[in-house]
Structure 1
Amino acid sequence: MIERRPVLDMISHLVLILGVMIVAFPIYIALVASSQTAEQAALAPLSLIPGDQLFNNLSAVLQSGASGNVSAGPVLRMLWISLASALIIAIGKISISMLSAFAMVYFRFPGRSLFFWMIFVTLMLPVEVRITPTYKVVSDLGMLNSYAGLTIPLIASATATFLFRQFFLTVPDELAEAARIDGAGPLRFFKDVLWPLSRTNVVALFVIMFIYGWNQYLWPLLISTEQGMYPIGVGIRRMIAGGDAAVEWNMVMATLLLAMLPPAMVVILMQKWFVKGLVDSEK
């Protein structure tokens, strides 16, 4: 029997409410600033009362971006570039990682363990560490200011390969033997058996990888030298690069709100599958 303690319940709820308020307050500030005029948003201290310019500011940044004070294009274009890049990175990481893990678990070939540990060692070599040679290769291949340059160097994932490998090792060998007896080839076994069993893991990794791709800043900052290929992170930085006197903070905050929507929607829509993929032990 679980003993109810009203005082402890009240304290735990107060702590949770306080935590939510601390996390949500910066978002509220961005919402307030994005609903004001440029003059109101530049005042110090900032008024905590929302204005009536929210939809006007959102429409302005989506269609034309910032004013002539800074070099930044329409936010709608930046959102599309970030969305396309994040989807390519997430889908590419999951596809390559599943196939590589499948090969290492269900195929017998010389050096199988060596190849796995070579992939695993790349965890210590993120793109920030090898950014100079990676940039040289991408530049020599003519992939600057392109979706290929934004995504291909970030697609490989040792983490996802390791997680899929560990999951495939938990799949009973009897399933593979039964599929082999029924005449199913490796790809048929992968499609009909492993893929349905891996869906929750795929969704959980998709959410993580999508947010990883969406939040990329350093690599796109180097690759994107043309305004038409700025993702949203680089675009926001460009909007505040003209000095405090030139920054339209209402437009910047409106852009920040728009930048938070896609990853927030992905987490909300896939929350059930995401949590299940992380904590569900029944395979």
Structure 2
Amino acid sequence: MIENRPWLNLFAHLALILGVAIVALPIWITFVAASHEAARMMQAPIPMLPGGHFWENLRATLFGEGLSGAETAPVWRMLLNSLVMALGIAAGKIAISIISAFAIVYFKFPFRMAFFWMIFITLMLPVEVRILPTYEVVSDLGLLNSYWGLTVPLIASATATFMFRQVFLTIPDEMLESARIDGAGPLRFFWDILLPLSRTNIAALFVILFIYGWNQYLWPLLITTDRDMSTVMISIKQMLEAAEQSPQWNIIMMTALLAMLPPVAVVIAMQKLFVKGLTETDK
């Protein structure tokens, strides 16, 4: 039994409050900067309380032409590109990985474990090693400056395949035998039994992969030359570079604030399934 010590509880709460404050302070400064005029953010000291221009800055950022001098698309367009890319990567990785794991676990074919280890070994290859040949293939297929080019090269995932394989191995063989006795084929077994049992794992992976796709920078930077196909991460970098000539920090911070919202919304909406998918061990 853990002894209850008030001073230890006080220390633990103070440490938690300090940790939250350290993490939340940059986000608070971003929110405050997004609610002031550009001229106010150039004055010292910087404000620590919100201003009265939040909605004005939001309209100018979301539906305007972006930061002057940055040559970026409107922010709503960049957010849409990032959303399509993140959803495409997450859905594609899950679909391909769960089907691959299903084939490896439940079908007996020659060299199936060799194929699995070939997939698993790709984890040892850094992205930089594969990015040039991948770019050449995408270029030859004419997929530059397209949603297909942003998503398709990134939808293969050895990690997700491995995780689904481990999940399927925990499912008792009696379920497969019962499905066979009831006349269910492989696809019926996959759709009616495996998918419902993997629901929490799919949700946990979706959250991780969505954030992974949303935060992509190097790959979109290589294959997008049209500003209308730029993602929000690339555009924030371009805005920071343009800030040396046009320091509109209210627009930059509002763009950064908007870029935080979709990942946060996904985590909050799927929090219960996310935690359950990472901690659940028994099926």
Deviation at 1:158, TM superposition (A): 0.2
Q: Which runs of 4+ in 1 moved over 6 A?
A: none
Give the structure 2 partner of residue 259 of structure 1.
Answer: 259
User: What are the equivalent positions in structure 2 for 1:153-164 lying under 5 Å apart?
Assistant: 153-164=153-164
The question of whether the paired residues in 2 share the 8 Å contact of 1:66 and 1:248 is answered with no
Contact residue 239 and residue 247 of structure 1 kept, 8 A:
no
**Deviation at 1:243?**
4.7
Structure 2 counterpart of 1:107, one-letter code: F
Counterpart contact for 1:41–1:249, Cα < 8 Å: yes
**TM-score, normalised by the number of residues in structure 2:** 0.97
- Separation (CA, whole Å) in 1 of partners of 2:110 and 2:252: 55
Could you tell me whether the CA contact under 8 Å between 2:68 and 2:246 is conserved in 1?
no
Deviates more, 1:268-277 or 1:36-45: 36-45
> Separation in 2 of the partners of 1:214 and 1:34?
21
Match of 1:15 in 2: 15
User: 1:32-84: CA deviations, max 9, x gaps?
Assistant: 11111111112243221221111111111110142432211211111111111
Deviation at 1:245, TM superposition (A): 3.2
Q: CA deviation at 1:240?
A: 1.9
Between the two proteins, the alignment pairs up a number of residues equal to 283
Whether contact under 8 Å (1:150, 1:220) holds in the other structure is yes
AA aligned opposite 2:47: S
Maintained 8 Å contact 1:119/1:158: yes
Q: CA–CA distance in 1 between the matches of 2:186 and 2:95?
A: 16
Structure 1 residues 97-116: aligned runs within 5 Å: 97-116=97-116
- Rounded to whole Å, the distance in 1 between the matches of 2:39 and 2:179 is 69
- Tell me if structure 1 keeps the 8 A contact 2:35–2:53: yes
In structure 2, the partner of 1:196 is 196
Give the deviation of 1:7 after TM superposition: 1.0
The gaps in structure 2 that reach 5 residues or longer are none
Q: Counterpart in 1 of 2:46?
A: 46
Cα contact 1:85–1:214 (8 A) shared by 2: yes
Deviation, 1:137, is 0.9
Asked whether the equivalents of residues 94 and 205 of structure 1 are also in contact (C-alpha less than 8 Å), the reply is yes
Q: Tell me the residue number matched to 1:6.
A: 6
- Check if 1:147 corresponds to 2:147: yes
| Distance in 2 (alpha carbons) for counterparts of 1:269 and 1:65 | 31
- RMSD of the TM alignment (CA)? 1.1
Number of the residue aligned with 2:27: 27
Query: Which secondary structure does the structure 2 equivalent of 1:245 belong to?
Result: coil
Matches within 5 A, 1:1-283: 1-283=1-283
The answer as to whether partners of 2:35 and 2:52 remain within 8 angstroms in 1 is: yes
Query: Is residue 37–residue 53 contact of structure 2 (8 Å, CA) maintained in 1?
Result: yes
CA contact (8 A) 1:36 1:51 kept: yes
The answer to whether the Cα contact below 8 Å between 1:35 and 1:51 also exists between their aligned partners in 2 is yes
Q: Is the 8 A contact 1:97 1:160 kept in 2?
A: yes
